[in-house]
Structure 1
Amino acid sequence: MTDLVTWAELGGSLAAIGGAAYARHAHPAAYWSTVGLPISAARLLASYTSTMDACGLTVEPPRWRALAIRATTRREVRPAPPRRGLIRPTSTGLRVRLRLAPGQEPADVAASAERLRHAWGVHAVYIRDIKPGVVELRLVGFDVLRKVRMPRRTPADHLRVPVALREDATAFVRDYRAVPHELVLGATLSGKSMYLRNLLTKLAAQPVALVGIDCKRGVELAPFAARFSVLATDPDQAAELLPVLVKEMEDRYDLIKSRQGIAPGTLEEEITSDIWGLPDAERPAPIVLFIDEVAELFLVSARKEEERRDEMVTQLIRLAQLGRAAGIYLEVCGQRFGAELGKGATMLRAQLTGRVCHRVNDEASAKMALGDIAPEAVYAACAIAAELPGLAVVGDTSGGWSRIRTPYLSLADAAATCRETAHLAPDVPRLTSFRPYAPPVPVDGSGPVTVPLPVAE
């Protein structure tokens, strides 16, 4: 009987260990909430002072405190670590705020992030500057980009939509008011279409005019035609559309100019330099222009097409330079976007503030997207594996960058969302003639549409 109990206890222990190992691999979020979080929190509390000392993040205490310690306890005065706040657990990690000692800066803590990660047994440690003298440590317990789960509470507003998940478990928000134009690069099957799909469905739920140029005969954007105000599927249609957008932009500038209020008695709140300062009743709807495979607009096969190409590139550059104030925003996608495309390519790329680089086939493509704004991010983009579609490196003109990954969204679900939100497409009179044809939703033919009624005798 004793042997049976012993074997039962041993089997139970092995089963628990095996279950924990399986949960850590298959369900990392559940493993972190039940096992990883208590262990990491205990490590942090038990080794906080010694870890900070080993990382060189301790300073000598003030002289008055050292004298008080010697007078009251007669023990050795040790360097003091940054004052630690309360530990706040999350579904993906831990958060704790530190008050830096005089003479310290956030860069000192950021330089020790890798050491802190190993000391406390977490997946990653990120540092965020809260206010002068206070930083927040964001401890991530597992690889959140392996299986993307967007946060429940994501900041969403007009022209500000969450699209992907950052590696620090926060949402990557595409804010058109702050970053009006964006370049999205990526090789075939890198997840570029998934990023575009998520962005389209989020914008479809807002009163925004969506305009598409898909020179691959519309294979990428045609499923969402019900929500698009305009959809050009070849260079000839794009050549007709772009001058109309430029004329729309010029008309909006005339409207802004007429409402600027140059008279001496005009109130300050009535003076504006963009459409967002106009009254709600007069403000035109914002327009987001999606260009899929931008290289198709630059490539020509005959000399007679070069003039058309130069005109389209010039109009795109004008929209990128002047479109923000008129409420016209660009989302340019492609596999490569360098000077070899032709005249005007680098000038247009310079106007695209936001940069998103998925997996690319060569280092030169990554440099086209990130080399001029965040050189360190080029190597991170080249290290993206083919087994992780949707993983990308996002950078901005401030030099900062981070890894993101878009959640999976099926084409059928995205198309259904666009059909359901088709009524939200705002009316832009100049674009009415370009409205794409959206086929009606098929009706299930398994039964009659109407129930037949018997004829009264």
Structure 2
Amino acid sequence: MKKISSLFIFMLLIYLGISTIFMDFHFVGKFGAILGKYNREIFGYFSYIYPFLLLLPLWFAYKKNLTAKELGNFFLAILLIFLALLILQALLFTPPHNGKLANSFINMLSPYIGIAGVWLFWFMLVGVIYLLFANRLKALLNANVKKEKLIIDENNNAVIIKEKIEQEIQETSETVAEKNEKKSHKEEKKPSIKLVKNPLETLQQKDMSSKPTKKQNRNINITKKEKESLSTLIKSTQKDNEQKPLQDKNIKKENKKIQEVKIVKTLEENEKFLASIEKGAIDKPENFQLPPIEYLQNPPKEKQEINEAEIDSKVTELISKLKQFKIEGDVVRTYSGPLVTTFEFKPAPHIKVSKILNLADDLAMALRAQTIRIQAPVPGKDVVGIEIPNSKFETIYLREIIDSDIFKKAASPLTLALGKDIVGKPFITDLKKLPHLLIAGTTGSGKSVGINSMLISLLYRNSPDRLKLLMIDPKMLEFSIYNDIPHLLTPVITSSKQAVVALSNMVAEMERRYQLMSQLKTKNIEGYNKKASKVGLPELPYIVVIIDELADLMMTSGKDVEYSIARLAQMARASGIHLIVATQRPSVDVVTGLIKANLPARISFRVGQKIDSKVILDSIGAESLLGRGDMLFTPPGAAGIIRLHAPWVSEQEIEQIVEFLKAQREPEYEERFLAETLESGSTSTTNASGEELDELYEEAKEIILSERKTSISYLQRRLQIGYNRAARIIEQLENMGVLSAPNAKGSREILL
């Protein structure tokens, strides 16, 4: 059917061209004369040539077996070029030879924009054609040129081999001539040896001749050994000539194999994982406005397209390099993403997987790659995954993930935006299901940017009433930007001693929540909040504890920190308390067996050594990552490791979001999480009853009673004192009966 329709269109175009040129009633008929007349009127001079010009692209489309999408793009390009040529003709020629179609178009535009504007419109149209289709045309031409070069190189190699053999034959003949010249002193003339195409045949013919002359015997006086050497050279030449068509066939087979390689745009295992995430609408807060998406940077509109020609060349190069190491097989599928291109290599049955794994460094050097990660084998498949960095890296923006359908449709308030997978699809996870996360990565690996992206994704979904954060930052730099946001339970903790106390108090909070849940006979925080809203009790917010540097805490208070983290990791899930623990040094003394056992979900950015990768992931691979947010993620219960790329979020974007949150509500810090630290840090006097009261107690009491505000941060600003002292005064006001104890949200009531 395709051949018949193509033939019909070909004949129709030829008939249209002939009818336009020879507009004779007897030659082309009545229909042809009318067709030619209207063709001239509508398209002008261009009507004489375009029917024949259209035959070329039609023939190209017929031969190439294009897909529906490629065919649509191809004919769109032809249509735009056709339109550009018609407008150019109308601008250069006068009626009636410039064509009615383009002339009416120019007459419509010229009153508004003038002839100069029409010319500019034409140049713009040409530019659009170039921008849309130049890259695809180059890629197509490059692919053809590379295939031609491959065949030319093989032919050249055959020619070079032939020339070398002929040169060796000539050198051998010359040495024979020199020997004969030394032996024949009686002869006056030097013997002449003529180089023939087949010396062995010539020798046989001369041996068979019945009456050889003396001159002939002198000219070709070749020993038995020399005959054998010449015959072996000739046989090798003949073998090469026989092998040449076989080599050409092998080249064609390899080219066919490369064309058959499937380029995959989605990963089944990732799709299954994302499908397990609960979908649904999330309740919007009533008294709080979530940050607008406009605070995040827009990704560039021009995205990198998959360069199939580049992938084909990489496949060819990869197979040839593996053959050098005596590893046979085929590339069956490829994935191309923002940072890496993955090749699924199916080795021959006799090839050991361990042999391929040991070639990571050799392949990286042979392919001139920064680093190569080999996944052998890919779980559930009979292939080996070879991940090679792209020549150009694509920046991933957080807005792409936050604004994606999969993030918007996720029902969990603790949905984390992790980034994109190796095919460029957005990837998220639910912290409630993890339920805790252990993160590792060296300096410059993108760990801090990845953690910031997770925090921002939480702030984009939750109000301070639904989510509270406890941030521990021993380095004093990473989380300082989040100070005073209303989601914080305490100011960002930078002291190791305070961190130990806060973690210990978080264990107490977990136990308190379990007591509350047992009273309402519920199993988790979701069930408790549903019943609490019906009964009239305050709902419990989720609490996420983020520790930026575990190594520092383990050095100062190892056992206490390990105990608190282990208890929270074991039991805190149902109470709505979740941990995100990060470290730069994932050694066994930092990430102990107890911590690892209770934090099954792990993310590893680039680490320095294989042993570090083994500690954090229980397998190697993290040492071969690229940095720039490149990570390996092991969700609990998953069969394998998922490679992801964290999104980029700048400090300016974080500052805008933080300022937006701070402008809506002041933070209401809960001093009970730093209770032990506060007792040792207050400055006070003693009253008659023996209770210690701060010297600013009365002033603070007057401020609270007059202005009816009970938050620690407000008292801190009014009295211009530190947080610890202000919190201690609030505690004294509670003991003196001025304020009530904090409720589930941490708020207090004035009792006087």
Same fold (TM over 0.5): yes
8 Å Cα contact 1:145/1:404 also seen in 2: no
Distance 1:419 1:23 in 2: 48
1:257–1:186 CA distance, 2 compared to 1 (3 A): same
State whether structure 2 residue 416 is matched by structure 1 residue 169.
Answer: no
Q: Provide closer, same or farther for how the CA distance between residues 16 and 317 of structure 1 changes in structure 2, counting only shifts above 3 A.
A: closer
CA contact (8 A) 1:194 1:408 kept: yes
Residue in structure 1 matching 2:609, options 355, 362, 376: 362
Match of 1:154 in 2: 406
- Shift in alpha-carbon separation, 1:190–1:258, aligned structure 2, 3 A: same
Q: Secondary structure at the match of 1:278?
A: helix
* Contact 2:667 2:713 survives alignment (8 Å): no
Displacement of 1:313: 1.9
Residue 579 of structure 2 corresponds to residue 327 of structure 1: no
1:246 Cα deviation after fit: 1.1
Instruction: Determine which of 274, 284, 291 is the counterpart of 2:540.
Output: 284
Does the alignment pair 1:389 with 2:649?
no
**Counterpart of 2:396 in structure 1: which amino acid?**
V
Q: Which structure would you say has the larger Rg?
A: 2
Give the deviation of 1:238 after TM superposition: 0.7
More helix by share: 2
Q: Is the contact made by 2:445 and 2:629 (CA closer than 8 Å) also made in structure 1?
A: yes
User: What is the percent sequence identity of the aligned residues?
Assistant: 22
d(CA) in 2 for partners of 1:191, 1:329: 22
1:299 pairs with one of 555, 576, 584: 555
Equivalent position to 2:646, from 386, 390, 406: 406
Mark the CA change 1:336 to 1:113 in structure 2 (over 3 Å): closer, same or farther: farther
- Is 2:589 the counterpart of 1:340? yes
Query: CA separation of 1:170/1:17 partners in 2, compared to 1, >3 Å: closer, same or farther?
Result: closer
CA distance in 2 between partners of 1:349 and 1:23 (Å): 52
Match in the other structure for 1:229: 489
1:181–1:114 CA distance, 2 compared to 1 (3 A): farther
After superposition, where does 1:179-258 map in structure 2 within 5 Å? 179-205=434-460, 206-207=462-463, 208-216=467-475, 218-227=476-485, 228-230=488-490, 231-258=492-519
Q: What are the superposed Cα offsets for residues 21-62 of structure 1, whole Å, 9 maximum, x if unpaired?
A: 8998xxxxxxxxxxxxxxxxxxxxxx99x9599xxxxxxxxx
In 1, are the aligned partners of 2:416 and 2:454 still within 8 Å (CA)?
yes
For the residues of structure 2 that align with 1:297 and 1:382, how far apart are their CA atoms? 25
Structure 1 residues 124 and 256: alpha-carbon distance in aligned structure 2, compared to 1, 3 A threshold: same
Q: Secondary structure at the match of 1:161?
A: strand
SS, match of residue 395 in structure 2: coil
Confirm or deny that 1:418 pairs with 2:658.
Answer: yes
Q: How many residues align?
A: 305
Decide whether aligned partners of structure 1 residues 163 and 23 sit closer, same or farther in structure 2, where only a CA change above 3 A counts. farther
Please name the residue that 1:107 is paired with.
none
How far is 1:239 from its partner? 2.0
C-alpha displacement of 1:340: 2.3
State the partner residue of 1:273: 523
In the superposition, relative to structure 1, how do residues 236 and 362 fare at CA in structure 2: closer, same or farther (>3 Å)?
A: same
Give the whole-Å Cα distance in 1 for the aligned partners of 2:712 and 2:625.
37
2:435–2:578 contact (8 Å) kept in structure 1: yes
Query: 1:83-98 counterparts in 2 under 5 A?
Result: none
Rounded Cα–Cα distance in structure 2 between residues aligned with 1:315 and 1:178: 21
State the Cα deviation string for residues 109-159 of structure 1 (Å, max 9, x = none): xxx9941339xxx95589xxxxxxxxxxxxxxx969633253532324411
Equivalent residue letter for 2:631: A
SS state at 2:502 partner: helix
RMSD, aligned CA: 4.1
1:382 to 1:416, Cα distance in 2 relative to 1, 3 A: same
- 1:305-363 deviation per Cα after TM superposition (whole angstroms, max 9, x unaligned): xxx5322321111111111011000000001233223xx82201221121111111111
Write out aligned runs for 1:11-30 (5 A): 19-20=134-135
- Return closer, same or farther for 1:92/1:424 CA change in 2, 3 Å cut-off: farther
- The verdict on how the C-alpha distance between 1:199 and 1:313 changes in structure 2, with shifts beyond 3 A counting, is same
Could you say what secondary structure the match of 2:472 adopts?
strand
Contact 2:415 2:430 in 1 (8 A): yes
Tell me how far apart the structure 2 counterparts of residues 293 and 246 of structure 1 sit (CA, whole Å): 20
Equivalent position of 2:289 in the other structure: none
C-alpha deviation, 1:166, in angstroms: 1.1
Q: Is the 8 A contact 2:418 2:429 kept in 1?
A: yes
State the match for 1:134 in structure 2.
Answer: none
Structure 1 residue 283: deviation in Å?
3.2
State whether residues 450 and 629 of structure 2, in contact with CA within 8 Å, keep that contact through their aligned partners in structure 1. yes
Question: Residue 433 of structure 1: CA displacement?
Answer: 6.6
Question: Once the two structures are superposed, what CA deviation does each residue of 1:74-113 show, in whole Å capped at 9, x if it has no partner?
Answer: xxxxxxxxxxxxxxxx9978xxxxxxxxxxxxxxxxxx99
Cα offsets for 1:183-230 (capped at 9, x unmatched): 1100001100000111111112313101111111x2111111122322
Matched residues in 2 for 1:20 and 1:201: separation? 37
Aligned-residue offset at 1:170 = 2.3
Residue 333 of structure 2: SS of its match in structure 1?
helix
Aligned position for 2:728: none
Contact kept, 8 Å, 1:201 with 1:418, in 2: the verdict is: no
Counterpart amino acid of residue 624 in structure 2: A
Q: Which amino acid aligns with 1:209?
A: K
Q: Give the Cα separation in 1 of the matches to 2:505 and 2:613.
A: 33
Q: Which runs of 5+ in 2 are unaligned?
A: 1-125, 140-255, 263-302, 307-328, 345-388, 676-710, 718-752
Structure 1 unmatched ranges of 5 or more: 1-11, 25-46, 54-89, 94-111, 127-141, 261-271, 301-307, 441-457
Classify 1:276/1:23 alpha carbon distance in 2 versus 1 (closer, same or farther; 3 Å): farther
The DSSP-based 3-state class of the residue aligned with 1:393 is: strand
User: How far apart, CA to CA, are the structure 2 residues paired with 1:23 and 1:393?
Assistant: 35
Question: What is the TM-score when the length of structure 1 is the normalising length?
Answer: 0.58
